C-alpha cells in the first residue's frame, strides 16, 4: 500500500518541481551503464504541490506537542524546546569525535559532570555514558556482571533471574550476553514472590534483574530483603532503571542494595522516547563493578578533563562516546530543574498516576489496588466479558483525539492497559482523559459495535498490525 491512500495522487507527467540553470561546467562522467538504474520512476509534481503534500502529511502526526500521550513504560515525556537549542550550540553540535581532548574541554566537562550527577541521583559510585539505548545499557550492565564473576574465577553462574512482569528487553539482553534465564513469579500484590525467589536463588545465578518501580508501576517494599538474599547467595542485583522518573530526587538505587542500574536518558531526562530517535542508556555502578565499566569514561581534576579506560574495562560497547546530543539535553534538564525540581517532577508523576487510578477504578478493573508510582496498570477484563477487548478501547480513544496507553503489557495482567500520565500534564488534561475513558466504558455497555469498528474519524481506519509489522510500506511506489 502506498501513502496515496492518504492524499490524492498528484503526480502528472511533465510537471516539474525545480529547474536547474544551464550547465556552465564540463559534465561529469556518468558511472557505467550497467550500474545505472533504468526503472526509477519518481513522481512528477510542482514545487507548491510538493510542499503542500508533505505539510499535509506532517499534520497527520500525533505527538506530545499535539496532545496527551499516556503511553506507559516507554512514555514520551517533557522535552522542552530550549534543551534542543542547548544540544544545537555550535560548541556541542559541530565538534568532531576525533578532535584532540584539549580542544573539546567544554564537552568533556559536560560529560564528566553528567557522570557525577547520575551517580549522585542513583546513589552509585561511577557512571559510563556510552550505551546508546535502554536495552543497550541493560546489555552493558549484564556484561559487567559476567566480567565480575569471571574475574573472581566463578564460572558456574550462568543464569539471570527476571520477574514475570519484566520488560521484553530484559530477557533479550540477558540472552545476548550468553546467559540463561529463569523467571521469578510475582505474588498476588504484584511484588516478588519471596518463596519463589528463595527457591531459585542458587549458586548458578549471576544476578537478579529487577525493575524498580516494577513495570506494574509498583514499589516492592521487600527490596532490602531481596537484596540481602541475592547477595548472601553470591549474586548481584541489577535494576532496569527505565522507571527512574518515579524516584528522581527521592529514592536511590544504591541505597536499595542495587549493584548497577541502567537509565534511559531519552525517557527520564528530556529527550523524547517512542520515535525511535537517538537514545542514551548510561550504566551506573557500585564500586565492585566500576573497574569493568565500558570505555571511555571522563575524568576531571584541576579543571582539566580527560578520557580514560577503567582498569579491567569490558571495552567499547558503542563507537566513540555514545549519543552526545542526548547527554546535552539530560545535562540541561538536571541543571535547570536542580535537586528540588527533580523531586517535584517525581512527586507530580506519582500524583498524576494515582489521580487517574482513583478516578478510573470504578470503570476499569484494577488488579493491584494499592498506591502506584508513576504509572498505573488496569485490566480490560470487565469489558472483555462484554465482548470488547483492550485493543478496541485503545482504537476508540483515537476517535476522542487521544493517544492510547500501552496495551497488553505487562504480560501478567489480562487485557492490560498501562497508563503513564507524566508529571507535566494538568488536572484539566487528566480530567478530559478520564471523561473519554468513562464514555468508552459506557459505550461498551450500550453500543459495543462502535468499539469493534473504531477508529472512525482518523485519516486511516483500523490497520492490520501484523501485516504492517511484517510488510512495512516504507517508500514511495508508483501506482501500478
- Strand bridging mode 283-285 / 126-128: antiparallel
Q: How far is the CB of 323 from ligand PLP (least distance, A)?
A: 11
Q: How far is the CB of 66 from ligand PLP (least distance, A)?
A: 21
Closest residue to ligand PLP, judged by C-beta, is 134
Q: Which is nearer to ligand PLP, 132 or 451 (CB)?
A: 132
Q: How far is the CB of 274 from ligand PLP (least distance, A)?
A: 8
CB 73 within 8 A of CB 406: yes
Q: Which is nearer to ligand PLP, 279 or 380 (CB)?
A: 279
Q: Which is nearer to ligand PLP, 104 or 416 (CB)?
A: 416
Q: What are phi and psi of 281, to 5 degrees?
A: -125, 65
Q: How far is the CB of 238 from ligand PLP (least distance, A)?
A: 12
Q: Which is nearer to ligand PLP, 272 or 281 (CB)?
A: 281
Q: Which is nearer to ligand PLP, 383 or 406 (CB)?
A: 406
Q: Give contact residues for ligand PLP (rule: CB under 6 A).
A: 73-74, 133-135, 167, 169, 211, 215, 240, 242-243, 264, 279, 281
Q: Which is nearer to ligand PLP, 281 or 322 (CB)?
A: 281
Q: Which is nearer to ligand PLP, 214 or 390 (CB)?
A: 214
Q: How far is the CB of 75 from ligand PLP (least distance, A)?
A: 8
Q: Which is nearer to ligand PLP, 215 or 383 (CB)?
A: 215
* Three-class secondary structure assignment of the chain: CCHHHCCCCCCCCCCCCCCCCCCCCCCCCCCCHHHCCCCCCCCCCCHHHHHHHHHHHHHCCCCCCCCCCCECCCCCCCCCHHHHHHHHCHHHHCCCCCCCHHHCHHHHHHHHHHHHHHHHHHCCCEEECCCCCHHHHHHHHHHHHHHHHHHCCCCCCCEEEEECCCCCHHHHHHHHCCCEEEEECECCCCCECHHHHHHHCCCCEEEEECCCCCCCCCCCCCHHHHHHHHHHCCCEEEEEHHHHHHCCCCCCHHHHCCCEEECCHHHHCCCCCCCCCCCCCCEEECHHHHCCCCCCEEEEECCEEEEECCCCCCCCCCCCCCCHHHHHHHHHHHHHHHHHHHHHHHHHHHHHHHHHHHHHCCCCECCCCCCCCCCEEEECHHHHCCCCCHHHHHHHHHHCCCCCCEECCCCCCCCEEEECCCCCCCHHHHHHHHHHHHHHHHHHHHCHHHHHCCCCCCCCCCCCHHHHHHCCCCCCCCCC
Q: Which is nearer to ligand PLP, 163 or 390 (CB)?
A: 163
Q: How far is the CB of 162 from ligand PLP (least distance, A)?
A: 11
Q: Which is nearer to ligand PLP, 235 or 281 (CB)?
A: 281
Q: How far is the CB of 294 from ligand PLP (least distance, A)?
A: 16
Q: How far is the CB of 242 from ligand PLP (least distance, A)?
A: 3
Q: How far is the CB of 210 from ligand PLP (least distance, A)?
A: 11
Q: How far is the CB of 433 from ligand PLP (least distance, A)?
A: 20
Amino acid at each position: 500500500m502506498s501513502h496515496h491512500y492518504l492524499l490524492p495522487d498528484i503526480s502528472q507527467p511533465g510537471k516539474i518541481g525545480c529547474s536547474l540553470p544551464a550547465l556552465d561546467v564540463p559534465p561529469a562522467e556518468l558511472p557505467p551503464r550497467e550500474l545505472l538504474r533504468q526503472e526509477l520512476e519518481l513522481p512528477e509534481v510542482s514545487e507548491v504541490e510538493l510542499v503542500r503534500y508533505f505539510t499535509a502529511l506532517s499534520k497527520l502526526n500525533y505527538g506530545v506537542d499535539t496532545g496527551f500521550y499516556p503511553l506507559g513504560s516507554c512514555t514520551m515525556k517533557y522535552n522542552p524546546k530550549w534543551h534542543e537549542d542547548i544540544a544545537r550550540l555550535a560548541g556541542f553540535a559541530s565538534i568532531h569525535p576525533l578532535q584532540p581532548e584539549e580542544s573539546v574541554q567544554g564537552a568533556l566537562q559536560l560529560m564528566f559532570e553528567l557522570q557525577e550527577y547520575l551517580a549522585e541521583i542513583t546513589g552509585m559510585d561511577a557512571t559510563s555514558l556510552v550505551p546508546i539505548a535502554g536495552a543497550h545499557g541493560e546489555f552493558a550492565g549484564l556484561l559487567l556482571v559476567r566480567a565480575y564473576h569471571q574475574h573472581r574465577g566463578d564460572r558456574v553462574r550462568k543464569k539471570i533471574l527476571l520477574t514475570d512482569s519484566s520488560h521484553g528487553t530484559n530477557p533479550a539482553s540477558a540472552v545476548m550476553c550468553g546467559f540463561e534465564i529463569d523467571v521469578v513469579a510475582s505474588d498476588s500484590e504484584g511484588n516478588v514472590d519471596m518463596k519463589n525467589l528463595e527457591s531459585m536463588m542458587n549458586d548458578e545465578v549471576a544476578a537478579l534483574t529487577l525493575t524498580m518501580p516494577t513495570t506494574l508501576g509498583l514499589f516492592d517494599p521487600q527490596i532490602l530483603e531481596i537484596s540481602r538474599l541475592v547477595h548472601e547467595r553470591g549474586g548481584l542485583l541489577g535494576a532496569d532503571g527505565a522507571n527512574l522518573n518515579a524516584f528522581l530526587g527521592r529514592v536511590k538505587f544504591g541505597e536499595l542494595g542495587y549493584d548497577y542500574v541502567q537509565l534511559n536518558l531519552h525517557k527520564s531526562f528530556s529527550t523524547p522516547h517512542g520515535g525511535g530517535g537517538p537514545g542514551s542508556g548510561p550504566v551506573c555502578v557500585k564500586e565492585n563493578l566500576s573497574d569493568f565499566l565500558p570505555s571511555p569514561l571522563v575524568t576531571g581534576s584541576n579543571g582539566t578533563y580527560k578520557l580514560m579506560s577503567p582498569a579491567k574495562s569490558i571495552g567499547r560497547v558503542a563507537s566513540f562516546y555514545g549519543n552526545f546530543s542526548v547527554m546535552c539535553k539530560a545535562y540541561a534538564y538536571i541543571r535547570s530543574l536542580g535537586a528540588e525540581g527533580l523531586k517535584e517532577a517525581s512527586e507530580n508523576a506519582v500524583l498524576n498516576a494515582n489521580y487517574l487510578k482513583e478516578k478510573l477504578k470504578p470503570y476499569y478493573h484494577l488488579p493491584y489496588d494499592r498506591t502506584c508510582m508513576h504509572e498505573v496498570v488496569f485490566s480490560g477484563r470487565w469489558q472483555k466479558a462484554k465482548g470488547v477487548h483492550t485493543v478496541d478501547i485503545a482504537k476508540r480513544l483515537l476517535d476522542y483525539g487521544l493517544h492510547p496507553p500501552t496495551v497488553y503489557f505487562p504480560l501478567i495482567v489480562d487485557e492490560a492497559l498501562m497508563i503513564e500520565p507524566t508529571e507535566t500534564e494538568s488536572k484539566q488534561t487528566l480530567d478530559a482523559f478520564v471523561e473519554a475513558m468513562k464514555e468508552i466504558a459506557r459505550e461498551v455497555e450500550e453500543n459495543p459495535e462502535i468499539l469493534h469498528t473504531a477508529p472512525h474519524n482518523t485519516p486511516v481506519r483500523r490497520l492490520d498490525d501484523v501485516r504492517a509489522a511484517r510488510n512495512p510500506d516504507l517508500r514511495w511506489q508508483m501506482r501500478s
